[in-house]
Amino acid sequence: MASEAALLGALRDRLGRSGREQGSATETAIVFLAALTAILLIIQCGLAFHAQHIALAAAEEGARAARLYQATDADGAARARQALAALDGGRILVDPRISVVRSGNDSVEVRVSGGVVSMLPGLTLSIRPQIVRGPVERFRGPGGQ
């Protein structure tokens, strides 16, 4: 009888411990998943911030090229595309959209926008359009005309 009681006590201890261990493994998996998701969200925010800076740099380059004396909108767009290829190569800023708009002969505006590569399934982020404006260079005579 005493051995049966000891055996039942040992069996209860064993079953109790394995139940706690299973709960511990489940809790660890849930915490790990939450921590991994938080880390990936932080990385995703960093990628979005970097994509915004890439778009701004490309817009600045495009505006510099489009502002030059006798330059065209196509010159500005081509320079913005070259800057995007050099800075990013399509890895972080996906599906970039570039537009160059002139306001008469006085100023030019270059706008670059696009999406951000996603680290989390189902999450799609896009950046705010980065806009750079500047005056167009013009030749003026000796009297400033």
44-84, pLDDT tens digit by residue? Answer: 999 999 999 999 999 999 999 999 988 999 999 999 999 99
Tokens in use for 58? 């490309």
Q: Is residue 7 part of a domain?
A: yes
Q: Is residue 145 part of a domain?
A: no
Query: Above 70 in pLDDT, residue 21?
Result: no
Res. 24 pLDDT band, cuts 50 70 90: confident
Q: Is residue 67 part of a domain?
A: yes
Q: Is residue 140 part of a domain?
A: no
Query: First and final CA of the chain: distance in angstroms?
Result: 116
Q: Is residue 95 part of a domain?
A: yes
Strands (E), 10-118: 93-103, 107-116
Q: Is residue 64 part of a domain?
A: yes
Mean per-residue pLDDT of the chain: 87
The residue to which tokens 């740099």 are assigned: 57
SS (H, E, C) 88-133: CCCCCEEEEEEEEEEECCCEEEEEEEEEECCCCCCCCEECCCEEEE
The residue to which tokens 């990936």 are assigned: 40
Q: Is residue 23 part of a domain?
A: yes
121-134, pLDDT tens digit by residue? Answer: 888 999 999 999 99
Q: Is residue 142 part of a domain?
A: no
Query: Could you give the CA distance from residue 136 to residue 107 in angstroms, rounded to a whole number?
Result: 5
pTM as predicted: 0.76
- The three-point CA angle 68-52-61 to 5° equals 15
Residue ranges making up the domain that contains 75: 2-135
Domains identified in the chain, total number = 1
